Structure 1
Amino acid sequence: MTATMERTTITERLVPSPPVRLSLVRADSVPGLLDGAWWPRSRDLYRELPALTDALDTAWGRVTRVTVNPTHWPVIPRKVRVTGHTVHVGWFADEQDQNKLIVLSYTTGRMDLLVIPPETDAAAAARLMSAAAAPGGLLTASRLMADDEVREGTETRIREEDWETDGGAGSAGRSPVELLDSSRGR
C-alpha cells in the first residue's frame, strides 16, 4: 500500500485585533512604580500582544521584548510576530510581579504595566486603569489588585446587608402585605 502526501504551504496571516485597552501615565508626569495598565481580552499572548505593541510602537517606541510572570499565562511563546517586526517574550516566575507586564524598547527603555485580568468587570477595570495611570503612584501591580479586591468585597458586603435589611432573603415567597405586617411586628 502506498500513501501519497501533498505538499502544502502554510502562510501566516496576522488577524486584526480589536482596539487595545490601555491607559498610560502622561510622559511629562512624575514617575511612579507603574507606567499604566493593560486590560487584555484573553490570556492568549499570541492574540493579545500585536494590538498592544501596535499602540505602544506608535505612542512610545518600537517594542522589542516583553516579560511576564507565568502565573496567569497558560502559554508563553518565545516570539510573537507583530506588525513589521517580531517581539521576543520572556518570563520570570519569582522575580516579576504576577500582575505586571514589562515592555522593553531598544530606543526608549522600559515600561511597567499592570495587567488587569480579562474576566474583570468593566467598573473594576476602569478603577484599576485609572489608579495605575496616576502620576507618581507608589503601589505595585499586585497591591493595586489586592486593594481593589478588598474594595469590591466591602461594596458587595454592604449591598448584601442593604438587601437583607430591605426584605432580602427572608422575604422570599411572601406578599407585600405580609412583608409590611411583619415589619410592623404583627
Structure 2
Amino acid sequence: MVRSAEDRMTWVCTREPPTARLRLADPPSSRAMLDGGWWPTSRDPVVELCSLVTALTAQRGCVIERIMLQPAAWDRHPRRIGVGGGVVRVGWFTTLEAGLVIITGRRDLRIDLAVIAPETTYAAATATMLAASRSANTTRATDILSIPPSPRSRPLARHGDDVAAWETEGGHLQSDRHPTAPART
C-alpha cells in the first residue's frame, strides 16, 4: 500500500488549544458502557484532539497512544497528531458510531466517550455529559446524543445506495409509486 505524504505527516496544533469540555465518570467503572462525555468546540480534529489528550493526561495521568473516530463527523482526517512532545495515532473507522470516540493507551487503557456536536446548546450538552459520566451507566453513545455528520464531509447519495436494505425494510422507491388523484369531496 502506497501512503501519501499527508498520511505520514504528524499534525501539530499551532495555537493554544481550547480547554476541553469534558466530564468523566468518577471513579471509572469496568461495567459502564461510557466513561464520560466530550463536547468539542469545533470539527477540527487537530485542535480538538490536542485539547482532549491534554485534558485526559492531566486528569487521569495516562499515556494516550491511539484515538479512534468516525470520519463523517470531522472536517479532515489526520493519521498522527503531536501532543506534548509525543505522537498520538488516529484511526478513522466508518463502522464506528459518530457519537463515540475510543481512546487507548498503555496499561490496557481504554476510555469510551460520548461525543456531543459542537453546535449543541449548553443545556443539552451539559445534560448529555452528565448522563454519559454516570458510574456504571449502560447507555450507548447513540442513545444519549450523537454528533451528526458534518455537511461538508457527507457523501452524496447515489441512486442504488442502500436500495436492497430499504426494500427489505418495507420502504418503496419513489419511482415505484404511482401518482394518485386527490379524493373528491
**Do these two structures clear the TM 0.5 threshold for a shared fold by scoring above it?**
yes
Question: What do residues 5-62 of structure 1 show as CA deviations (whole Å, max 9, x unaligned)?
Answer: xxxxxxx773111211000001255631000011000000111111110111122201
Q: Which residue of 2 aligns with 1:116?
A: 116
**Preserved contact between residue 20 and residue 40 of structure 1 (Cα < 8 Å):** yes
- Point out where structure 1 has 5 or more consecutive residues left out of the alignment: 1-11, 147-186
Normalized per residue, the structure richer in helix is 1
* RMSD (Å), alpha carbons: 1.7
Q: Which amino acid aligns with 1:89?
A: V
SS at match of 1:113: strand
Q: Which residue of 2 aligns with 1:80?
A: 81
Is 1:97 the counterpart of 2:105? The answer is: no
**Preserved contact between residue 30 and residue 135 of structure 1 (Cα < 8 Å):** no
Is 1:136 the counterpart of 2:136? The answer is: yes
Question: What do residues 58-106 of structure 1 show as CA deviations (whole Å, max 9, x unaligned)?
Answer: 2220111100011211211001111121110001112x11100000112
Q: Which residue of 2 aligns with 1:65?
A: 66
Q: TM-score, normalised by structure 1?
A: 0.68
Structure-2 separation of matches of 1:36 and 1:126: 11
1:84/1:123 Cα in 2 relative to 1: closer, same or farther (>3 Å)? same
Q: TM-score, normalised by structure 2?
A: 0.68
How many residue pairs match? The answer is: 134
Task: Compare CA radii of gyration and give the structure with the larger one.
Answer: 1
Matches within 5 A, 1:12-51: 14-27=14-27, 29=29, 31-51=31-51
- Point out where structure 2 has 5 or more consecutive residues left out of the alignment: 1-11, 147-185
Structure-1 separation of matches of 2:90 and 2:123: 30
**After TM superposition, where is structure 1 displaced by more than 2 Å over at least 4 residues in a row?**
27-31
**Preserved contact between residue 33 and residue 136 of structure 1 (Cα < 8 Å):** yes
